Amino acid sequence: MRFSRIVLYWYITNQRDFPWRKSKSAYRVWLSEIILQQTKTSQGLSYYNKIIKTFPTIKELAEASEEQILKLWQGLGYYSRARNLHFTAKYIQNNLNGVFPNDYNSLIKLKGIGPYTAAAISSICFNEKRAAVDGNVYRILARVFNIDTAINSSKGIKTFQELANSLISDRNPGDYNQSMMDIGATICTPKNPKCNQCPLNSICHAHDNNTFDNLPVKIKKTKIKHRNFNYLCIEYNGNFLMKKRTQKDIWKNLYDFPLIEGDRIPQENDIDYKKLLNSILENEIIAEKTKHYKHQLSHQKLHITIKYIKTKKLYNDNDFLKVNRRQVKELPFPKPIERFFEELFN
């Protein structure tokens, strides 16, 4: 088919140079795909290099502690990806003798691997004819073929997957999928696409009719939730009082400070604030300051206040973990807590 021939021919001379493309290693491709979910390549590349340097094989990743992995992942967000990565590494190492499954139907059964990632690994590493459909592919197909069905509707998902499956190259499905990723990421971009550089412009409906701004169509569902996180950072005798987030919420298994979550910044005479403060301190405060941060997640916007208090005496620290400055470098924290420590220590 002309479409797939154009896509493959373009890839020969225009493919991006990434370290995971230098071999057909399923471990490296899998790691890159998990990192790049919901993440720009420019940001994910440094994390890939850092993780692959620390854990060059799936055996070493499987044998690592979750805290080690979360620390390396710190700042990348969507931490469930890191936890699933670790779970799957241990499963492959312990149950599959360290050998990756080599087909789509087996790969998709693994935790953290969905249809796109399974198709990417099976096609790139094992030459299985499976179309990997992500945002880049939705955008290209919608524009080239003038499809106005919403990409996040049941009908749209089915329509685009069937079309993608009909177009993929029999001869080289892995290169075809990677070429589609590259065209979508570098040329057929969401805004200001470089249509004059696109290998598909001669057959593209959106290019001919100047409708690229209208495609693809997506139903807007997400409502941003605003949350106020009010932290107390207590430093006592060189240690910080912290706790591990174990509840089903953002930042699970990361560490943060004693927290009051509410609809506004607490004042010193607020009952909850005074109760928390009095349960910890004996009013021997020698330094204090307050920092404010905003942190955007996919569906939430966090308004964060961190009140730092350095004290000579504690009334009760039994409910908290005492973390010294060396441990701060080892434990995984949410990005705002990491930023706070960087500012505090500098």
pLDDT digits (tens, 9 = 90+) for 156-180: 999 999 999 999 999 899 999 999 9
Q: Are residues 86 and 132 in the same domain?
A: yes
Strand partners, 225: 300
Count CB neighbours of 1 within 10 A: 11
- Last residue within a domain, chosen from 214, 243, 260: 214
The answer to whether residues 290 and 308 touch, using CB atoms and an 8 Å cutoff, is yes
- What is the structure's pLDDT at 289? 85
Does residue 268 have a pLDDT over 60? Answer: no
Are residues 133 and 236 located together in one domain of the fold? no
Residues 173, 270, single domain; the answer is no
Report the domain count for the chain: 2
Domain annotation covers residue 220 = no
By residue count, the chain amounts to 346
Q: Given 163, 180, 214, which residue is the final one in a domain?
A: 214
**Are residues 263 and 334 located together in one domain of the fold?**
yes
Q: Which residue range(s) make up the domain with 24?
A: 2-214
Whether the predicted pLDDT of 273 surpasses 60: no
Of 214, 244, 268, the residue at which a domain comes to its end is: 214
Residue 45: inside a domain, yes or no? Answer: yes
In sequence order, the β-bridge partners of residue 227 are: 302
Whether residues 52 and 91 fall in one domain: yes
With pLDDT > 90 as the criterion, what percentage of the chain qualifies?
75
Cβ distance 157 to 138 under 8 Å?
no
CA distance 276 to 292: 20
- Supply the pLDDT for residue 223: 85
Kindly state whether residues 100 and 6 are assigned to the same domain.
yes
66 and 205 housed in the same domain: yes
Annotated catalytic residues are: 33
